[in-house]
Amino acid sequence: MKLLRVGEPGQECPALLDNQGQLRDLSSLIPDIAGPVLSDAALADLAARVQGADLPVVDPATRIGPCVGNVGKFVCVGLNFSDHAAEAGAPIPSEPILFMKATSAICGPNDTVLIPRGATKTDWEVELGVIIGTEARYLSEAEALDHVAGYCVVNDLSERAFQMEREGQWVKGKSADTFGPIGPWLVTRDEIPDPQALHMWLDVDGQRRQDGSSGTMIFGVAHLVAYISQFMSLQPGDVIATGTPPGVGMGQKPPVFLKPGQTMRLGIAGLGEQRQITAQG
- 250-258 mean pLDDT: 94
What mean pLDDT, rounded, does the chain reach? 96
Query: Could you give the percent of the chain with pLDDT greater than 70?
Result: 100
pLDDT tens for each residue of 137-165: 999 999 999 999 999 999 999 999 999 88
CA atoms within a 13 Å half-sphere pointing along the CA-CB vector of 236: 15
Please tell me the predicted confidence (pLDDT) of residue 50: 95
Please tell me the predicted confidence (pLDDT) of residue 89: 75
| Residue type, position 81, single letter | F
CB atoms within 10 A of CB 155: 25
Go through the domains of the chain in sequence order and give each one's CATH number: 2-50 (no CATH), 74-280 (3.90.850.10)
Please tell me the predicted confidence (pLDDT) of residue 83: 77
Preceding peptide of 184 cis, ω within 30°: yes
Which one is predicted more confidently, 48 or 53? 48
pLDDT tens for each residue of 89-98: 778 889 999 9
Query: Could you give the percent of the chain with pLDDT greater than 90?
Result: 91
The dihedrals phi and psi of 28, each to the nearest 5 degrees, come to: -75, -10
Cα–Cα dist 22/120, whole Å: 40
CA distances for 223 relative to 96, 117, 195, 268, angstroms? 9, 37, 12, 20
Please tell me the predicted confidence (pLDDT) of residue 139: 98
| Predicted confidence (pLDDT) at residue 110 exceeds the cutoff of 90 | yes
| Predicted confidence (pLDDT) at residue 184 exceeds the cutoff of 90 | yes
> Is this structure's pTM higher than 0.85?
yes
Please tell me the predicted confidence (pLDDT) of residue 68: 98
CA distances for 65 relative to 73, 165, 199, 227, angstroms? 18, 32, 23, 29
Cα–Cα dist 79/164, whole Å: 14
43: DSSP letter: H
pLDDT band, residue 30 (cuts 50/70/90): very high
Of residues 39, 37, 40, 10, the one with CA closest to residue 26 = 37
Please tell me the predicted confidence (pLDDT) of residue 165: 87
- 243-257 mean pLDDT: 94
The angle subtended at Cα 213 by Cα 155 and Cα 72, nearest 5°, is 35
The angle subtended at Cα 127 by Cα 122 and Cα 128, nearest 5°, is 160
- 37-45 mean pLDDT: 98
| Predicted confidence (pLDDT) at residue 233 exceeds the cutoff of 90 | yes
pLDDT band, residue 87 (cuts 50/70/90): confident
